[in-house]
Amino acid sequence: MYKRFTCLVYCIIYISCFSMFEFSFAAKGESAEVVDRIVAVVNDDIITLFELNRSFKPYEEKIRKLGYSTDKEHKMLFKVREDMLNRLIDQKLKDQEIERLKIKIDEREIDQTIERIKEENFYTDEDLRHTLANEGLTMEEYRERIKEQILRTKLINLKVRSKIVITKEDITSYYNNHPDKYGGKKKYHIYNIIIKVPLFADETEKDKIKARMDEILTELKAGESFENMARTYSESSLGAEGGDLGLFRLDELSPQLRNAIKEMQAGEFTPVLDTDQGFQIFFVKEIVKTSGKPLEEVSPEIEKILFNEIVEKKFQSWLEELRNQSAIKIIK
């Protein structure tokens, strides 16, 4: 139960809380004096070193526990520093737009979101508090994360979502380009004849068994009934039933058998195969095409997928444009 919720907590933290920090590369055990200062100016707002250190601390600890060499650790920390500073700048820009556009949220919306999360995860209030404590979050901090996420969603709705149109052609194209997801699957009705090879058989004995299977294959090619031959020669418990193995999708078969029959047509049989069970011949009696999901049934699902993909792309494009129009100064 806690595992599913953990993913949600990390998701919210990742979106709304990424920040930056300033760190010293002194040897472990040495102390370094840290003085608060401004590390970035975003239009009329500032980002302070204190904010960055506080936000980054858990991530810094995880990186330092990875056991990398000093040089690699330094490079990773600098890379994370750059990425997180950009994320924090983006967050400031979004906050400024939210304020400029007078986007509001009340406590009731936060309460409703938390209640929905509890219902989806079958959580009690105690479960929620316990999970948050494991993640190092207080309820107040978690509510702030929820608030930031709701405000971001409202900003997306206002700046991006209302301008997106998904056409029927878009949905049809996605449907046709994903046959593995929505199309029907082929099932192969497979029969076999098997002669087992004794565990300690030498090459001479194996050659004799292979020669016998070659003779059976010759008779099959001459028109003998596969089922009758299976009843006569197969050493499988299913031999009495004509070697009927049943219906299988290709992905349900071993790689060896899958490769042997994937291009076969109904009524064809394989050459003699040397398998772990013994020498075998397989017969494809029929190929059944199972029905896929009709376009009408999956259209709402596809529309949602396309919509979310476009929303994220357009939002990032809008955010990049906003950055270019803003006065941003990084103080190193």
Q: What is the pLDDT of residues 147-194, one digit of tens each?
A: 999 998 899 888 888 788 899 999 999 998 887 778 777 889 999 999
Instruction: Kindly list the domain boundaries of the chain, sorted by start residue.
Output: 2-159, 185-289
Which element (helix H / strand E) includes 329?
A: strand 328-330
Q: How much is the pLDDT for 2?
A: 41
Q: How much is the pLDDT for 134?
A: 85
Mean pLDDT of 46-61: 81
Q: What angle do CA 318, 48, 155 make, to 5 degrees?
A: 25
Provide the whole-model pTM: 0.50
Domain 2-159 has what CATH class? mainly alpha
pLDDT in tens, 272-323: 999 988 999 999 999 988 777 889 999 999 999 999 889 888 888 999 999 9
Q: How much is the pLDDT for 34?
A: 52
Domain 185-289 has what CATH class? alpha beta
pLDDT in tens, 253-267: 999 999 999 899 999
Please give the DSSP secondary-structure letter assigned to residue 21: -
Asked whether residue 9 carries a pLDDT value surpassing 50, the answer given is no
Share of the chain above pLDDT 70, in %: 89
Q: How confident is the model at residue 52 (pLDDT cuts 50, 70, 90)?
A: confident
Q: How much is the pLDDT for 35?
A: 64
What is the sign of the dihedral through the CA atoms of 93, 95, 96 and 101?
A: positive
**Structure tokens given for 270:** 């394989």
Instruction: Report how far residue 319's alpha carbon sits from residue 327's, in angstroms, rounded to the nearest whole number.
Output: 14
Q: How much is the pLDDT for 23?
A: 42
Pairing mode of beta strands 38-42, 45-48: antiparallel
